[in-house]
Structures are given as C-alpha cells and as structure tokens.
Amino acid sequence: MSERAKDRPVVALDGPAGAGKSTVARAVAKALGFLYVDTGALYRGVALAAKEKGVSWEDGEALGALTRALDLDFEATDEGPRLLIDGIDRAPDIRTPDVADGASKVSQHEPVRAALLDVQRQLGAAGAVVFEGRDIGTVVFPDAEVKLFLTATPEARARRRVGDLMERGKDADYGSILEAIRERDARDSSRAVAPLKPAADATTLDTTDLGFDEVVEAVVAAVREAMAR
C-alpha cells in the first residue's frame, strides 16, 4: 500500500495513441498544482536517439544499452515539460509520426522498459504527479491512487492527430494516420511486455463524444474524490 500523503496522489492516465492523454494530463496537473510527466516522450526520445545513432528499433539489447547511456530529463516551461536528451531540448523532434511509430516499436523491448522504469518511478516517488502513458497503472505505479484509462474510436483519434499536426504547420493525411493508429493499437495491445490494457481497478473513460473540458473535469473530480477519502 502506498505511503504517500492522501493530498499527494499519483494519477495514472493510460490509453491508446490519440486518446487525448497528453493534453488532458497537462490540464489536470495545472488545475491541481501537480507535476505532469509525459512518459511517452521518454520512449519517443529513445526512438529518436536510436534513429540518429543507427541503432535498429528491432534490436532490444542494443536499445537497452542505448537507453541506459542516455541522460533523459524534463525541463519545466510555461508550455509544459520539454524533453531533454543529454541536456539538449529535443521536444520538437520527437513529435513526428515516424518517431511516434518508433516509440511503439522500441517500447516492445523489455531492456528498454526496464531502463525507463526507474526513471519514471523516481519522478513520481513524492506523489502529487500526473503520469500519462500506456502501462502506468499496470506496471509503473500499480499502487496509484487514481487510475483512468482514456480511450476513443480510432477515427476520432485520427481526426485529433490530424488537427494537432495541422496546428503545428505539418502535413497530415487522415487515411495514413488512421491506418497507423490501427496498426499501433494492434501492436501495443498484443506485445509480450506490458501490453496496452486497462488496470483491473482502473475506470475507463471513452472520450469520443466528450469535449476537452468535460474530460478534464471528470479526471479532476476523480482525483479530488481520492484525496477526500
């Protein structure tokens, strides 16, 4: 059982790509005055570093060694935390579809997940933190006080991803993104190591037909309820 103070819970927001976890987690953390940790950025960072260093996304042992050698950290900014790789801000570089696909591939390897597990647990040790990822409630923080699994239809998630990319001035093809999301769902859900699935004690929240503010309010309410118990 966790020894964290009840006013400093760990909030685990898990779910598939494009379910809105990042934007919701950031808003929830701001509303509560908690730290926000984007664990997906860590895997994207590993994928980016591997690509730049010529390490195959299929070579688990080499990826594990690379991950252990990387200095991965977050820098707090007004726009939210930005990933630093070996002290350099790489936040813009990890948000491409190619690196997102690479993150899904490298996350299948146990050496990579083991190397990042301690990093994540250290970030959340003191509580009062909102984590978003794919195995926070099942593997990283199975004792998290609040566990929510955010999901939405593949079509809704593809539309959101297109909107996000276009806002950043990047090209976005709905059909290609939808196909990539479906392939990633299948890969993440069927992998042998930490497959994507809701924790047994998580509450599933389908965001397909919910507005952003409605989702944030639902999560904040769940956290406040946990803090009051």
CATH, domain 40-126, list 3.40.630.20, 3.40.47.10, 3.40.50.150, 3.40.50.300 = 3.40.50.300
Task: Please give the class, per CATH, of domain 8-34+127-229.
Answer: alpha beta
| Confidence category of residue 113, pLDDT binned at 50, 70, 90 | very high
| Confidence category of residue 1, pLDDT binned at 50, 70, 90 | very low
pLDDT computed for residue 2 by the predictor: 54
pLDDT computed for residue 87 by the predictor: 94
- Mean of pLDDT values over 81-96: 91
- State if pTM tops 0.85: no
Mean pLDDT of the chain: 91
State which of 7-16, 32-41, 75-84 shows the largest mean pLDDT.
7-16
- Give 32 or 79, the one with higher predicted confidence: 32
Q: Where are the domains of the chain?
A: 8-34+127-229, 40-126
Burial class (CB within 10 angstroms; exposed 0-12, middle 13-18, buried 19+) of 200: exposed
Alpha-carbon distance 225 to 229, whole Å? 6
- Mean of pLDDT values over 118-133: 90
* Same-fold call for 8-34+127-229 versus 40-126: yes
| Confidence category of residue 153, pLDDT binned at 50, 70, 90 | very high
Alpha-carbon distance 229 to 223, whole Å? 10
pLDDT computed for residue 3 by the predictor: 65
Whether the predicted pLDDT of 11 surpasses 90: yes
Whether the predicted pLDDT of 204 surpasses 60: yes
Paired tokens of 20: 């809105």
